Amino acid sequence: MAAPLRIQSDWAQALRKDEGEAWLSCHPPGKPSLYGSLTCQGIGLDGIPEVTASEGFIVNEINKKSIHISCPKESASSKFLAPYTTFSRIHTKSITCLDISSGGGLGVSSSSDGSMKIWQASNGELRRVLEGHVFDVNCCRFFPSGLVVLSGGMDAQLKIWSAEDASCVVTFKGHKGGILDTAIVDRGRNVVSGSRDGTARLWDCGRSACLGVIADCGSSINGVAVGAADNSINLGSPEQTPSEREVGTEAKMLLLAREDKKLQCLGLQSRQPANAFNCCTFLSGFLLLAGTQDGNIYQLDVRSPRVPVQVIHRSGAPVLSLLSFRDGFIASQGDGSCFIIQQDLDYVIELTEADCDPVYKVATWEKQIYTCCRDGLVRRYQLSDL
């Protein structure tokens, strides 16, 4: 992985005026960092600034919302993308989770102020406030229909909400600690939750019942993911006949990100462990991504997980979110960085403006990318701006 480039978070605003400046830097591993600056030499008739870089850096391309910078000495290249829109009125405090509906029309987000809200994805206009959890709401996501929301909170409750009228239609109880993450199985007749109590549970939405404890780790489960297994993966057979209420669990893998620095993979239906490896999300039926507290992103093959396919390290900040995207992925970290790596690009796309505030979660819809941040802002980026 080439040396990461960094740029001033508000570079797009800073370079909109004559002689405006923005700093940039390159951080090659094991070498001294290189520092430079960008200077606006004027604004063209098309509204695009004419920008020059200090010695050691090159401006390859620029438009109103993106700039492509290279550092030839370190063979580093990144395209930085400024947000198309920023929504500042949804929440007043740190936003810890968000999701976008399958149709792209609605967003849902939760905040450290205990609130959970549904809003118009195009303009951030508030549509519904979902009230019913006690204490913080840790996670929220839309069902595939886009009309229903699943949430988990520090009150150890899992809730299902109508996005149309904000009513809570189902409450699941059974966990003894706060729910930290959820996953939806196929179309949503079953869901999975991970909790501070160390268990992952499978739930039947139609009957508001727990179908079983999938895993009991003895350690807080911070993240869960469900994905289809490649045909080459042996997930084992269930010890007991699965309930007829289990729908879509066959040939599915469940990944558990644990507080004790372990990540666990098991068959969702069989409850049998697959190979041990670190992971946070799926890239395919056998490729996984794992993000660590010290900033490493591991790409792993389930068929031979002991040796990573590759390890990506751009900073020592915790990796907070990983999302499969096109033929690559989007990652966000605790230092405010959020970037896209794709196989067909020889540069990294950086989503800017979060400065040093952690970017907790990323969601996408078609060519639009939404991020939520500790500074209380939802940012919407458009890849058409590149």
The per-residue pLDDT for range 147-165, each reduced to its tens digit, is 999 999 999 999 999 999 9
Question: Following DSSP, what letter does each residue of 142-204 receive, concatenated?
Answer: E-TTSSEEEEEETTS-EEEEETTT--EEEEE---SS-EEEEEEETTTTEEEEEETTSEEEEEE
pLDDT at 264: 83
Lowest-confidence segment of 41-45, 123-127, 239-243 by average pLDDT:
239-243
Q: Is the pLDDT of residue 186 over 80?
A: yes
pLDDT at 279: 37
Residue 276 pLDDT level (bands cut at 50, 70, 90): very low
Please give the average per-residue pLDDT across 129-144, as a whole number: 95
More confident residue, 379 or 280: 379
Do residues 65 and 25 make contact, with C-beta atoms less than 8 angstroms apart?
no
Q: Is the pLDDT of residue 273 over 90?
A: no
More confident residue, 344 or 88: 88
pLDDT at 303: 83
- Residue 223 phi, psi dihedral angles, 5° rounding: -150, 145
Q: Is the pLDDT of residue 234 over 90?
A: no
CA–CA separation, 385 vs 378, rounded Å? Answer: 18
Beta-bridge partners for 378: 87, 372
Please give the average per-residue pLDDT across 98-124, as a whole number: 96
How far, in Å, are 88, 174, 272, 280 from residue 222 at the CA level? Answer: 28, 17, 20, 10
For the chain, what is the mean pLDDT? 91
Residue 275 pLDDT level (bands cut at 50, 70, 90): very low
Do residues 147 and 155 make contact, with C-beta atoms less than 8 angstroms apart?
no
pLDDT at 232: 62
CA–CA separation, 319 vs 203, rounded Å? Answer: 29
Beta-bridge partners for 370: 363, 380
For residue 115, give the amino acid letter.
S
C-alpha radius of gyration, the chain, whole number: 22
* Percent with pLDDT over 90 in the chain: 71
